Each structure stands twice: as structure tokens, then as C-alpha cells.
Structure 1
Amino acid sequence: MELKVDESLMTILDAISEGITIIDIDGKVIFGNKAYCNFIGLERENLIGAELKKIRSSAKLPEVIQSGENLMHVERKENGEYYFVNMYSVYSKDRVIGGISVVTFFNEAFDFKKQIEQLEKKMETKILRINKANSARYKFESITGVSKSMVDVKNTAMQVAETDMTVLLESETGTGKELFANAIHNFSLRKNEVFIAINCANFRGEILDSELFGYVEGAFTGAKKGGKMGLFEAAHKGTLFLDEISEMDISLQAKLLRALQENIIRPVGSVTDIPVDVRIICASNANLKAYVKEGKFRADLYYRLSVFPIKIPPLRERVEDISVITIDQLKNISKKLKRVIRIDQGAMEVLKKYHWPGNVRELVNVLEFSSFKAKDGLITLECLPESLYAVEEINTNDKLSERVRAFEKREILKELNKYGADTEGKRKAAKKLGISLASLYNKIGD
């Protein structure tokens, strides 16, 4: 059978950017597409019918059809240009009748690879945006508070939300820093863009580096093929919330400072900067000023972050909010439990007198715990954890040692409410408090 290329096939092969050459069993060229003719600098009429070896002495295709075996991914360099060739034998009824070579030019392959990478990044961005869309669920209306201090803080936060200032939320644990971060984003001009939150305390320095700034392929052992987009890039045009910023490795703080000052990031292992437009909200329950003095936090980063600090008051300093938050949370709990949950005056008074070291988060946990114990849906004193009303057992007429013992017992009971009163729970509570299990039993009188 004679190997031929008809007009239709010519048209198809001419549309391909790779260089295509077809030879017969004698090694004569029966076709070369436009890309191949341009590559070797010959007109097609001068190519057809010529022996390939006479045109290109280094051509391996005639050897391929002699062996009958394909030759793949052969790298070549010519006139300073790199390319690679795949060569195939063409069979008809188990007999070789010719051969075909496909030349792929490195520049085109590289450009194609770049296009694929860009497409993957766009897809990654879209996926992130779909996953994170509307993740800023809370608005200022979601933050319950009638006290003057809380109303003032909310008003201040609303004012700064309308700007693009970096915000530092400073407060104790459980006061609702992430709620404020959500609300600030949702009240800003970026409200229709992505909101991404990350807790810096959950990652070691090098892991947090790649999470925030991404990495390129081959940046380190185990790096994902094609690299990974960082959260800064994913949050472009939106808001990035850095919780527990105080726990960020100090070596990474310089990189964060540069990102904030220059609005550019550099992925791990890359030599190229990427421009980003991200609004930063940070939160810390640690004393950052003290961290600066101790050398745990960069002073220049602290001043850059604290352009507009917002201090959320702890719950014990706004007692009038306790009843409002309680009523609001009981509505949510009622929906979850599918029954109406209420609280009597006696139990409410205990809640108001408690010092709430865990703030609103602790109050919500207490209400959820008490709701399960509430008979007929009414939370009474008996439904509350013992640690809450144990505070009233401290007698100010007692000696200091007795007061200390009462205080220690109350703190231990608080931990037991978290971990459980069984042996395993007591063991965990003792470990959390830094005392032995024997000391725990001694202090609570068991």
C-alpha cells in the first residue's frame, strides 16, 4: 500500500502548530506541513519528493521505519532553539509503509504550560471564592450589646469599616473578634468580595508562610505540582482576617510587613512578586505591646497593624449585656432543640454575678449545657454548672487561705465542666491547670 496525503488531510495538518513530516518506506518526503517547512526554511515544493536524509542529515525518522519501533521525546537543539521530536512508524497490515515525525517547539510548549498554569490558578481562585463566598456571615446587627461601651465600639468599628485601614482587634478570648471581623468586612466596600480567615496559631512558621503566600512548583519536598496559591492572592480585592496574629513566627513577620507596605507578595521558592489588593484585619488576645518588649513581635509590624486598634470590652465589664445576650442565645438554642428554652430570675442573677473569664463564648457554652438539663424548658439554678454559683460560697470574712481554697475549687470545677467529672475528665483538667491528679482530688475534697 502506498502512503499518500490527500488535500483534506493536508488542510488539517497545516492547521497544527507542531511540525509534521511524513516519509515513505524509501525515506522520501511525501508531506511537510507549514510549521515544518517554516522550521527548516524550505518551500513545500522543494521538500516533497526529496530524501529526508539529504535535507537533514541528522534525521532519525528513516532509522525508525527501518526498525519499526517508535522513538519518543527526543530532545534537539538547532539554531539556538530547543525542541523535541516524537517519531512513529506507519503500518499497513503488519508492514511498515512509512513514518511520521512530530516536532514540538519548546517555546510553544512553555507558553502552553504557562497558559495551563494560569488557567489552573484562575480555577483555584474561582473554587476558593465559591467556597468562601458569603463566609463572612455576621453583620453588626449580629453583635448583641446594649451597654455604652459596646455601642461605642460598634460605632467605631462601623466608621473604620468604610475605609481601607488595617484594623487590629484587641480583646480577651471569647469576646467575638471574628464576629467583628465579619461585620467590618460586610459593612465595607469589599462586602461583595471574598472574606478569608486563618488562625495563625494553628500553623508552624514555614507552613503558615506557604498558606499565606503560596509556593511555586519544586519549592520544597512535597510541594504540589504546579505550586499552590496563597491566601493573600486568593483574597485579592477582598478581606483577609489574621486571627491570633501574636503567634506568628517572628521570621515570617518581616514578610507580612512587606506585603502590607508594598501590596506585593512573593510565593515560597519564587523570584517573582505578585501584586495584591487585600484589606487586612488582625486579632490578638495577647498583649502585643508586651510581646514587642519581649522581642516576640516586631515593633515595626505592630505599629503598622495598630493603625486603628479596636478594644472589645470583656463581658464582666458590661454586665448589662449579659441578660440581652442570654435571651438572644436562648432563641437560637430553642431553634436547635426544637423546644422553647427560658431562664428564671435566680439563674439570671447568677449569670450576672459570674466573672466570665471565657466571655461570650463561655456564656453560650453554659447556656447550651443548662438547656439540656432544663426541665420543661426552664433553666433554674440547679441547671447551671456548679462552677458558676460556687463563687457565692466565698465568704469575705474567711481567712485568706480559705478564700484561696474556695477560688481554686471554683477554677477546678470550671475545667471539670469542660472535660467531665469522670477520672479521664479529672486527669485532663489537672493537666490543663498544671497540677497533679492527686492535688486536684485534694483541692475539691474528693
Structure 2
Amino acid sequence: MGKEISMQHGAEWWKAVAHCIHDGILVIDKHEIVRMINPEYTKITGVTQHIIGKPLSAYRRGAKLPQTLKDGKIRAGVYRKTEDREYMVDMAPIILDGEVVGAVSVCKSLTEVDKLSQELKRQREKVETLKSRMNRAYEAKYTFEDIMGKSDKVKKAISIAEKASASSFPVLITGESGTGKELFAQSIHNKSERSGRAFVPVNCAAIPSSLLESELFGYGEGAFTNAKKNGKPGLFEVAHEGTLFLDEIGDMPSSLQAKLLRVLQEKKLRRVGETKEREIDVRIIAATHRNIEQLVHKNHFREDLFYRLNVIRIEVPPLRERKEDISILIESQASEFTSYIFEEEAVRVLRSYEWPGNIRELKNTVDYATCMADNEYITVENLPSFIVKKGEKNKEESETLQEMIRRREKEYIQKALSTCGHDIKGKKKAAEVLGISLATLYNKLKKLNM
């Protein structure tokens, strides 16, 4: 009896609360007597206040709430239908001091359920749209077809990279700046089973060390001043099930190397300022222009992390070691604008240059030359002067005696023709200046491709 009195204590207050709720509510006591219904219950089921104080089973045939009262089990999503109404019901026992003293029924009309279902669908579509936009923002553009070159060193690098695509092992790409390390990384991703997921590039040298940790691993709410509410996922989480490209890994601070190693070993991470661990599935491709073995030897890079990353090693050769590819590279670059043609002498100058900036520098040179050209033919005069000077110097230092004689002979003839003229009269005069016959001059012009 005492429990029934305590149950009724403050009944008016709870009744007011129930009237504010936009779900239908019906409450019975342990004797199955209806103690309360709210207006929303009437609106959904059509049952009015006259049922209060009466046994539920007598007025609601097939009512399942008394069964909940008896067995104490929670029932969710029970479909109910009367002559002109359909709704969904959740039922639960009311327990005080371990004893079932009543039961409550909470219902929603199918119209409301449908609205909620449609809203949930819209929200899911928004989430999928955001995911799609994120994937496009972190999309790898290049494939192995974009890697130009037929030299043995390039072919070897491509072969290793293609085999690496078939696995999820870490890859370490080494090579000088401007050789195209990210091109290889994107190609590996696009040929792998993760190609439909995000490719997230991170330049470890470009992000301040104070920010790199939170960028990679994310942070929790209140982790530091101005931290976003609810925290922020890091790039590891953005790359989940995809590929994380850690460019210039040799410049990563020592303090982060240990945390990166743990993520690679455990496949779990903790955001900055959190204790919760999150499962992560990311394929790591790292790259560096530095001598990483030397960094390990000098204790600037963790040896255990090096071995963890150096599962598959790809060495991208510098351009000076694959000069036979220069023609292919400049033709590919020049064709992006229009049908430019590099004259033979201009190509020879480009091949004589050492290209400290590698393919990136070559691309800039081609852009400059196409801008300076008066027509579709690109000559030595259209090339940057410092490249011509260094290229000519390198060419002179490496040429044979026969090549030097040929070059100097060509220079003298060009100078004579420039002074005397290129018509028949001019050529006769040039032959006299050079001390040779006109027939000999014509033979030399043909031999020297002039």
C-alpha cells in the first residue's frame, strides 16, 4: 500500500510533464488499472480520458501492456492497428525497489514514424554526400600511365611500385626533390584495392611540429585553447580504409615518431587530450628526399620506425641519371599547350644540363620556352640563359675531340653565313671568308644538318 501511495505522490506534477511530451503515454498500475493517459495518446489511438481508473484489458482488446506487467520484459516497436489507426508502441515495466509496480506504454503514429524515418534517410544522405565530397577532396589523380620514361631505372621503379599495389604493406619512396615521388604514391593507391577510398597527403616538413600531432591524430574537446567543440578527427581517421601519404617523413619530429610507430603496430590511435582508443585501418606510403639511413645512424630517425616503413623500398632516380627520358618528358609537357617542337640543338642543350631540380625544374623550363617561342619551333634562344650556359659548359667538358671539331666548325660557318647572308651570293662570299670552295661549303652544310 505504501508503494502505491508513493507512486501517487506528485501525480499532478508528473501528469503535467506527460502532457508536454509529443509521444502518446499510457500508464497502468500493478493491478492493470489505467492511471494516466496524455492528450497525444488520445490523438494517436482515439482512446479518451474515460479509460482512466478502469482495467486496461476490459477496454483495449489484445492489449500487450499487461503482459509486460507480468513478465517485466521491455517490448519495442510493437505494431498496433485498430479500425482506422496504425501506430507503433514501446512498452516497459515500472520498477521500484526491485518490484514491478506498473507499466508504461509510449506510442507514435505511423505518420510520425514515417516522418522520422524520412528525416533519418535525409540525414544519412547528407552524411554520404559529405563523405563523397571528402573523398573527392582527397582523391589521387595520377596512375602509372602518367609516369613518363623508358629508362631502365624508371622501369625498375615502376615494376616494384606495381607489385606494391597488390598489397597493403608500408612503402618507402626515396629520391631527390622534384623526381615525382608523390606521382608514384598516387599510382600505387589508384591500382590498389583501396582506390575507392581517400588518398590523404601530408607534408611533414611543411606543418609546424607543434601542430603536426593534432593534424595527424586529431584532438578531443578541450584538448587546448580554441579547440573545436566535440574535438576534431585527424588525418589518420580521414584516411581510414584508404592511404596516408607521409611526404618528407625524414623531417618528422622525434616526439611524433614514437606515436606513429605505435599506431602502425597496434592499428589504434588516441586523439590528443583523449584516453579513448580508436581502431584505424590505413595503408602508409612514406617518402623522403633525405638519406634516411644516415638519419638513423645519427639517431635523428628511429631505427624501429625505419624498419617498419621500409617494407617495400622504391628509389626514384634523379633526372640526370635518366637523360634518355628528357625527349619524352618535354614532348609530354609541351603537348599540354599545343604542338610545340623542340629543335635538335635545343634538346641537346637540355640533355647536357644536370637538372638539380629534376622533373619539376624541367617542367618549368618547358613552360618558359613555350612562352618565349615565336612559333611552334623551340630553339636554343627560347631556353633560359642560365640553362644554356651551364648546358653548353657541361657539353664542352664531356664532348670528344671529334664532337668539339664538329661544333666549332658549325659555329664558324653559322657566323660567316650570318654576316654574309644565306642566299647564293651570301654563300659564295661566306665560302671565300672561310677559305673553302662553294661546293665544299654545301657539302658541310648538308653534313652538319644546317
- Common fold, TM-score beyond 0.5? yes
After superposition, the Cα gap between the structure-2 partners of 1:207 and 1:233, relative to the gap in structure 1 and judged at 3 Å, is same
Contact 2:19 2:38 survives alignment (8 Å): no
Aligned partner of residue 333 in structure 1, secondary structure: coil
Deviation at 1:204, TM superposition (A): 1.9
Letter of the 2:329 counterpart: I
Instruction: Indicate which of 239, 243, 247 corresponds to 1:243.
Output: 247
Shift of 1:122: 11
Deviations 1:197-247 (A, max 9, x none): 111111122311111111111000110111101111111111110101111
How far apart, in 2, do the equivalents of 1:225 and 1:120 lie? 21
1:133-167 CA-partner distances (Å, limit 9, x unpaired): 37200000000011111111101110011111100
Find the counterpart in structure 1 of residue 104 from structure 2. none
Aligned in 2, Cα 1:10/1:132: closer, same or farther, shift over 3 Å?
Answer: closer
Instruction: Give 1:131's aligned amino acid.
Output: M
Match of 2:139 in 1: 135
Give the 5 Å matches for 1:237-276.
237-276=241-280
- Relative to structure 1, the CA distance from residue 121 to residue 246 in structure 2 (aligned partners, 3 Å threshold; closer, same or farther) is farther
Match of 2:154 among 150, 162, 170: 150
For 1:330, give the aligned amino acid. A
Q: Which residue of 2 aligns with 1:290?
A: 294
Partner of 2:200: 196
2:340 corresponds to which residue? 341
Q: Deviations over 1:350-401 (max 9, x none)?
A: 111111111111100000011100011221101101111212246659xxxx
Q: Which whole-Å deviations, capped at 9, do the CAs of 1:310-334 have from their partners, x for residues lacking one? A: 1011111111111111111111133
- Deviations along 1:5-36, one digit per CA (max 9) or x if unpaired, are 9x9x967726289xxxxxxxxxxxx99899xx
- Tell me: CA distance 1:175–1:328, structure 2 relative to 1, closer, same or farther (3 Å): same
User: 1:79-98 alignment to 2 at 5 Å?
Assistant: none
**Letter aligned with residue 286 of structure 2:** C
**Which residue of structure 2 lines up, in the alignment, with residue 387 of structure 1?**
386
Cα offset for 1:295?
2.1
TM-score after normalising by structure 1: 0.61
Q: Give 1:76's aligned residue.
A: none
Alpha-carbon distance in 2 for matches of 1:130, 1:269: 28
Deviation at 1:279, TM superposition (A): 0.4
Q: CA deviation at 1:189?
A: 0.8
Distance 1:379 1:356, change over 3 A: same
**Equivalent pair of 1:132/1:196 in contact (CA under 8 Å):** no
Paired position in structure 2 for 1:13: 21
Matched residue SS, 2:193: coil
Amino acid at match of 1:325: L
Letter paired with 2:353: Y
Aligned-partner residue type, residue 130 of structure 1: R
Contact 1:356-1:362 within 8 A present in 2 as well:
yes
Aligned match for 1:179, one of 157, 177, 183 = 183
Distance 1:251 1:279, change over 3 A: same
> What is residue 53 of structure 1 aligned with on the other side?
none
Q: How many residues align?
A: 297
Counterpart position of 2:374 = 375
* 1:47-446 correspondence runs (5 A): 127=130, 129-133=132-136, 135-334=139-338, 340-391=339-390, 392-393=392-393
- Output the amino acid matched with 1:377: E
Provide the C-alpha distance between the structure 1 equivalents of 2:296 and 2:166, rounded to a whole number of angstroms. 29
Contact 1:129 1:194 in 2 (8 A): no
TM-score under structure 2 length normalisation: 0.60
Matched with 1:50 is none
Change (3 A) 1:136 1:14: closer
CA distance in 1, matches of 2:24, 2:253: 52
Match of 2:62 in 1: none
Q: Is the 8 A contact 1:241 1:280 kept in 2?
A: yes
CA RMSD in angstroms comes to: 3.4
CA distance in 2, matches of 1:277, 1:372: 47
**Unmatched tracts of structure 1, length 5 or more:** 18-29, 35-43, 46-78, 80-118, 335-339, 398-446
For 1:332, what is the secondary structure of its paired residue? coil
Contact 1:266–1:273, Cα closer than 8 Å, also in 2: yes
Q: Using the aligned pairs only, state the percent identity.
A: 41
| Distance in 2, Cα, partners of 1:129 & 1:231 | 16
Q: State the Cα distance separating 1:121 from its structure 2 match.
A: 12
Give the SS at the match of 2:299.
coil
- d(CA) in 2 for partners of 1:270 and 1:13? 36
Tell me the distance in 2 between the aligned counterparts of 1:161 and 1:346.
40
**Residue aligned with 1:254, SS:** helix
Residue 201 of structure 1 aligns to which amino acid in structure 2? A
- Letter of the 1:345 counterpart: E
Return 5+ residue gaps in structure 2 as ranges: 1-11, 26-35, 41-51, 54-95, 97-121, 399-450
Pick the structure with greater CA Rg.
2
